[in-house]
Amino acid sequence: MSNLLLKVENLSIAFGGLKAVDDLSFEMNHGEVYGIIGPNGAGKTTAFNCITQFYKPDAGKIIFDSKEDGMINLVGHKPHQVIGRGLVRTFQNVELIASLSVIDNLLVGAHIAFKSTLPEQVFRLPRARREEKQLRARAMEVLEMLGLTHIAHMPATMQPYGHQKKLELGRTLMMSPKLIILDEPAAGLNEVETVGLIEIVQRVTKELNCGILLIEHDMNFVSKLCNRICAISFGKRLAIGTPDEIKAHPDVQEAYLGKSDKESGGGEANG
Protein backbone atom coordinates (compact mmCIF):
# COMPACT_ATOMS: atom_id res chain seq x y z
CA MET A 1 0.00 0.00 0.00
CA SER A 2 2.02 2.93 -1.22
CA ASN A 3 -1.02 5.14 -1.09
CA LEU A 4 -1.19 5.09 2.70
CA LEU A 5 -1.03 8.51 4.37
CA LEU A 6 -1.93 7.91 7.98
CA LYS A 7 -2.31 4.72 9.92
CA VAL A 8 -3.46 4.82 13.52
CA GLU A 9 -2.71 1.54 15.25
CA ASN A 10 -4.25 0.48 18.58
CA LEU A 11 -4.25 4.01 19.93
CA SER A 12 -5.13 4.21 23.63
CA ILE A 13 -5.07 6.93 26.24
CA ALA A 14 -6.64 7.02 29.68
CA PHE A 15 -7.20 9.90 32.07
CA GLY A 16 -7.22 8.29 35.49
CA GLY A 17 -9.71 5.46 35.20
CA LEU A 18 -11.41 6.86 32.11
CA LYS A 19 -10.34 5.30 28.85
CA ALA A 20 -10.88 8.25 26.54
CA VAL A 21 -9.52 6.45 23.51
CA ASP A 22 -9.50 2.69 23.65
CA ASP A 23 -7.63 0.60 21.10
CA LEU A 24 -8.56 2.79 18.14
CA SER A 25 -7.29 1.81 14.70
CA PHE A 26 -7.98 3.26 11.27
CA GLU A 27 -6.09 4.25 8.17
CA MET A 28 -6.52 6.82 5.44
CA ASN A 29 -5.00 7.37 1.99
CA HIS A 30 -3.40 10.32 0.27
CA GLY A 31 -5.90 12.92 -0.89
CA GLU A 32 -8.75 11.29 0.99
CA VAL A 33 -11.28 13.18 3.08
CA TYR A 34 -11.83 11.06 6.15
CA GLY A 35 -14.37 11.76 8.86
CA ILE A 36 -14.52 10.78 12.50
CA ILE A 37 -17.94 10.94 14.06
CA GLY A 38 -19.32 10.01 17.42
CA PRO A 39 -21.56 11.30 20.20
CA ASN A 40 -20.32 13.95 22.62
CA GLY A 41 -17.52 12.64 24.78
CA ALA A 42 -16.71 9.79 22.43
CA GLY A 43 -13.03 10.74 22.44
CA LYS A 44 -12.79 12.31 19.00
CA THR A 45 -10.86 15.41 20.01
CA THR A 46 -8.71 13.35 22.36
CA ALA A 47 -7.81 11.09 19.45
CA PHE A 48 -6.84 14.18 17.44
CA ASN A 49 -4.76 15.48 20.28
CA CYS A 50 -2.96 12.13 20.41
CA ILE A 51 -2.30 12.15 16.67
CA THR A 52 -0.90 15.70 16.79
CA GLN A 53 1.09 14.83 19.92
CA PHE A 54 -0.58 17.36 22.19
CA TYR A 55 -1.29 14.33 24.35
CA LYS A 56 1.13 11.45 24.71
CA PRO A 57 -0.83 8.27 23.99
CA ASP A 58 -0.43 5.43 26.50
CA ALA A 59 -0.17 2.89 23.74
CA GLY A 60 -0.38 2.63 19.99
CA LYS A 61 1.38 3.88 16.91
CA ILE A 62 0.67 6.75 14.58
CA ILE A 63 2.31 5.95 11.26
CA PHE A 64 2.47 8.92 8.94
CA ASP A 65 3.89 9.31 5.44
CA SER A 66 6.02 12.35 6.27
CA LYS A 67 7.24 14.95 3.85
CA GLU A 68 10.90 14.04 3.92
CA ASP A 69 11.49 10.79 5.75
CA GLY A 70 8.74 8.58 4.41
CA MET A 71 6.79 6.44 6.85
CA ILE A 72 7.49 7.45 10.44
CA ASN A 73 5.87 7.00 13.81
CA LEU A 74 4.72 10.38 15.09
CA VAL A 75 4.60 9.22 18.70
CA GLY A 76 7.41 10.86 20.63
CA HIS A 77 7.45 14.07 18.58
CA LYS A 78 6.94 17.36 20.37
CA PRO A 79 3.76 19.21 19.36
CA HIS A 80 5.73 21.90 17.49
CA GLN A 81 7.69 19.30 15.51
CA VAL A 82 4.61 17.73 13.97
CA ILE A 83 3.95 20.51 11.42
CA GLY A 84 7.40 20.00 9.91
CA ARG A 85 6.37 16.43 9.09
CA GLY A 86 3.51 17.73 6.96
CA LEU A 87 0.61 17.49 9.39
CA VAL A 88 -1.31 20.60 10.53
CA ARG A 89 -4.41 20.99 12.64
CA THR A 90 -7.14 23.44 13.55
CA PHE A 91 -8.92 23.71 16.87
CA GLN A 92 -12.47 23.21 17.98
CA ASN A 93 -12.58 26.66 19.55
CA VAL A 94 -10.99 28.88 16.93
CA GLU A 95 -7.47 29.70 18.06
CA LEU A 96 -6.56 32.80 16.09
CA ILE A 97 -4.15 35.31 17.59
CA ALA A 98 -6.12 38.32 18.81
CA SER A 99 -3.28 40.81 18.66
CA LEU A 100 -2.40 40.09 15.04
CA SER A 101 -4.00 41.05 11.76
CA VAL A 102 -5.55 38.50 9.43
CA ILE A 103 -2.49 38.25 7.20
CA ASP A 104 -0.14 38.05 10.19
CA ASN A 105 -2.20 35.16 11.53
CA LEU A 106 -1.63 33.33 8.26
CA LEU A 107 2.08 34.14 8.47
CA VAL A 108 2.21 32.51 11.89
CA GLY A 109 1.18 29.37 10.03
CA ALA A 110 4.32 29.73 7.93
CA HIS A 111 6.56 30.06 10.97
CA ILE A 112 8.74 27.07 10.17
CA ALA A 113 9.39 28.42 6.67
CA PHE A 114 11.34 31.34 8.14
CA LYS A 115 14.98 30.30 8.10
CA SER A 116 16.45 33.74 8.81
CA THR A 117 17.97 34.39 12.22
CA LEU A 118 16.74 36.95 14.73
CA PRO A 119 19.38 39.61 13.90
CA GLU A 120 18.59 39.21 10.21
CA GLN A 121 14.92 39.78 10.95
CA VAL A 122 15.42 42.70 13.34
CA PHE A 123 17.79 44.54 11.01
CA ARG A 124 15.73 43.64 7.93
CA LEU A 125 18.64 42.04 6.10
CA PRO A 126 18.07 40.75 2.54
CA ARG A 127 17.28 37.13 3.41
CA ALA A 128 14.67 38.08 6.02
CA ARG A 129 13.12 40.63 3.67
CA ARG A 130 12.98 38.10 0.84
CA GLU A 131 11.34 35.47 3.04
CA GLU A 132 8.83 37.96 4.37
CA LYS A 133 7.94 39.06 0.85
CA GLN A 134 7.56 35.52 -0.50
CA LEU A 135 5.47 34.32 2.40
CA ARG A 136 3.30 37.43 2.36
CA ALA A 137 2.57 36.71 -1.31
CA ARG A 138 1.74 33.13 -0.35
CA ALA A 139 -0.59 34.39 2.39
CA MET A 140 -2.36 36.63 -0.11
CA GLU A 141 -2.82 33.62 -2.43
CA VAL A 142 -4.43 31.72 0.41
CA LEU A 143 -6.65 34.68 1.26
CA GLU A 144 -7.67 34.93 -2.36
CA MET A 145 -8.62 31.27 -2.38
CA LEU A 146 -10.71 31.88 0.74
CA GLY A 147 -12.18 35.05 -0.78
CA LEU A 148 -10.94 37.14 2.14
CA THR A 149 -8.35 39.48 0.59
CA HIS A 150 -10.39 42.53 1.57
CA ILE A 151 -9.84 41.93 5.29
CA ALA A 152 -6.12 41.13 5.08
CA HIS A 153 -4.99 43.95 7.35
CA MET A 154 -7.79 43.91 9.88
CA PRO A 155 -7.64 42.42 13.37
CA ALA A 156 -8.31 38.71 13.01
CA THR A 157 -10.53 38.12 16.01
CA MET A 158 -12.88 40.97 15.12
CA GLN A 159 -14.02 39.12 12.01
CA PRO A 160 -17.29 37.23 11.87
CA TYR A 161 -17.09 33.67 13.14
CA GLY A 162 -17.44 32.19 9.67
CA HIS A 163 -14.41 34.15 8.48
CA GLN A 164 -12.42 33.12 11.52
CA LYS A 165 -13.14 29.47 10.82
CA LYS A 166 -11.99 29.92 7.23
CA LEU A 167 -8.87 31.73 8.41
CA GLU A 168 -7.93 28.89 10.68
CA LEU A 169 -8.23 26.55 7.74
CA GLY A 170 -6.21 29.04 5.68
CA ARG A 171 -3.47 29.09 8.27
CA THR A 172 -2.99 25.35 7.85
CA LEU A 173 -2.48 25.80 4.11
CA MET A 174 0.57 28.04 4.45
CA MET A 175 3.00 25.13 4.68
CA SER A 176 1.37 22.99 1.95
CA PRO A 177 0.73 20.09 4.31
CA LYS A 178 0.07 16.49 3.34
CA LEU A 179 -2.61 16.07 5.96
CA ILE A 180 -4.87 18.66 7.56
CA ILE A 181 -6.77 17.78 10.71
CA LEU A 182 -9.95 19.80 11.21
CA ASP A 183 -11.69 19.76 14.58
CA GLU A 184 -15.37 20.55 13.95
CA PRO A 185 -14.83 22.92 11.03
CA ALA A 186 -18.54 23.59 10.51
CA ALA A 187 -19.52 24.07 14.16
CA GLY A 188 -21.29 27.39 14.61
CA LEU A 189 -21.55 28.12 10.92
CA ASN A 190 -24.86 28.87 9.22
CA GLU A 191 -26.02 26.95 6.16
CA VAL A 192 -24.56 29.32 3.57
CA GLU A 193 -21.22 29.36 5.35
CA THR A 194 -21.23 25.57 5.59
CA VAL A 195 -21.78 25.22 1.86
CA GLY A 196 -18.93 27.67 1.26
CA LEU A 197 -16.69 25.66 3.55
CA ILE A 198 -17.49 22.42 1.73
CA GLU A 199 -16.44 24.05 -1.54
CA ILE A 200 -13.20 25.29 -0.02
CA VAL A 201 -12.33 21.90 1.46
CA GLN A 202 -13.01 20.23 -1.88
CA ARG A 203 -10.79 22.75 -3.65
CA VAL A 204 -8.04 22.27 -1.10
CA THR A 205 -7.96 18.51 -1.52
CA LYS A 206 -7.95 18.82 -5.28
CA GLU A 207 -5.45 21.65 -5.72
CA LEU A 208 -3.01 20.83 -2.93
CA ASN A 209 -3.56 17.09 -3.11
CA CYS A 210 -3.61 16.76 0.66
CA GLY A 211 -5.64 14.50 2.85
CA ILE A 212 -8.15 15.85 5.32
CA LEU A 213 -9.14 14.24 8.57
CA LEU A 214 -12.09 15.86 10.27
CA ILE A 215 -14.40 15.62 13.21
CA GLU A 216 -17.90 16.84 12.64
CA HIS A 217 -21.36 16.54 14.14
CA ASP A 218 -23.20 17.81 11.07
CA MET A 219 -24.01 14.53 9.31
CA ASN A 220 -24.96 16.35 6.14
CA PHE A 221 -21.56 18.03 6.01
CA VAL A 222 -19.75 14.75 6.62
CA SER A 223 -21.78 12.87 4.02
CA LYS A 224 -21.10 15.45 1.36
CA LEU A 225 -17.37 15.64 1.96
CA CYS A 226 -16.02 12.41 3.29
CA ASN A 227 -14.95 9.38 1.30
CA ARG A 228 -14.91 7.25 4.40
CA ILE A 229 -16.01 7.64 7.99
CA CYS A 230 -14.92 6.08 11.24
CA ALA A 231 -17.61 6.13 13.93
CA ILE A 232 -16.49 5.90 17.53
CA SER A 233 -18.23 5.78 20.87
CA PHE A 234 -16.70 5.73 24.36
CA GLY A 235 -13.26 5.73 22.77
CA LYS A 236 -13.92 2.52 20.84
CA ARG A 237 -14.32 2.10 17.13
CA LEU A 238 -17.87 1.19 16.13
CA ALA A 239 -17.62 1.00 12.37
CA ILE A 240 -15.74 2.17 9.30
CA GLY A 241 -17.33 2.70 5.93
CA THR A 242 -18.77 5.08 3.38
CA PRO A 243 -21.21 7.70 4.68
CA ASP A 244 -24.20 5.63 3.59
CA GLU A 245 -22.90 2.47 5.19
CA ILE A 246 -22.27 4.33 8.42
CA LYS A 247 -25.74 5.87 8.47
CA ALA A 248 -27.28 2.44 8.06
CA HIS A 249 -25.03 0.73 10.59
CA PRO A 250 -27.05 -0.50 13.60
CA ASP A 251 -24.28 0.14 16.17
CA VAL A 252 -23.91 3.73 15.03
CA GLN A 253 -27.63 4.30 15.20
CA GLU A 254 -27.65 2.83 18.66
CA ALA A 255 -24.80 5.05 19.84
CA TYR A 256 -26.52 8.16 18.53
CA LEU A 257 -30.15 7.42 19.19
CA GLY A 258 -30.08 4.81 21.92
CA LYS A 259 -31.48 1.30 21.75
CA SER A 260 -35.03 0.97 20.66
CA ASP A 261 -37.34 -0.42 23.30
CA LYS A 262 -37.88 -3.66 21.45
CA GLU A 263 -34.22 -4.49 21.07
CA SER A 264 -33.25 -3.69 24.61
CA GLY A 265 -36.22 -5.65 25.90
CA GLY A 266 -37.97 -2.56 27.22
CA GLY A 267 -35.76 -2.70 30.27
CA GLU A 268 -34.13 0.66 30.71
CA ALA A 269 -34.84 4.07 29.35
CA ASN A 270 -32.11 5.67 27.31
CA GLY A 271 -31.98 9.42 27.63
Partner 1 sequence: MNKVFGKIGKTQPYFGFLVFGAILSFAPVLMNNTQWFLFAWLTIFAGFIVYAIAGLGMNILMGYGGLASLGTAGFMGLGAYLTMVLTVDAGFSFFPVLFLTILATTILGIVVGLVSLRVEGFFLAIATLVIAEMLRQVFQQMPLLGGHAGRSMPAFPTISLFGILEWTLNRNQTYIMLVIFLVIAMFITQLLFKSATGRALSAMRGSESAAAAMGISIFRGRLLAFALASGFAGAAGSLFMFFMPFTNPNHWNLVLSLFIFAVVVIGGVRSVAGTVLGAFIVFAVPQLFIARLPVIGDISGMDFVFTGVLIIIVVLFYPAGLIWMPAGIKNSITKLIKRKKGGETT
Q: Which residues bind partner 1 (CB under 8 A)?
A: 52, 54, 78-84, 88-89, 91, 95-101, 103-104, 107-109, 111-112, 114, 116, 118, 121-124, 128, 131-132, 150-151, 153-155, 158, 171, 175
Task: Name which of 2 and 93 has its Cβ closer to partner 1.
Answer: 93
Min dist CB 67 to partner 1, Å, is 13
Task: Name which of 1 and 98 has its Cβ closer to partner 1.
Answer: 98
Min dist CB 79 to partner 1, Å, is 4
Min dist CB 262 to partner 1, Å, is 46
Min dist CB 237 to partner 1, Å, is 25
Min dist CB 152 to partner 1, Å, is 9
d(CA 217, CA 29) in angstroms, rounded, equals 22
Q: How many helices (H) and strands (E) does the chain have?
A: 9, 10
Residue 226 contacts residue 29 (beta carbons within 8 Å): no
- Helices 102-109, 126-146: crossing angle, 10 deg rounding: 110
Residue 73 contacts residue 8 (beta carbons within 8 Å): no
Sign of the CA dihedral 93, 96, 102, 107? negative
Task: Name which of 150 and 262 has its Cβ closer to partner 1.
Answer: 150
Task: Name which of 57 and 243 has its Cβ closer to partner 1.
Answer: 57
CA atoms within 13 Å, Cβ hemisphere of 186: 25
d(CA 180, CA 62) in angstroms, rounded, equals 15
Task: Name which of 70 and 119 has its Cβ closer to partner 1.
Answer: 119
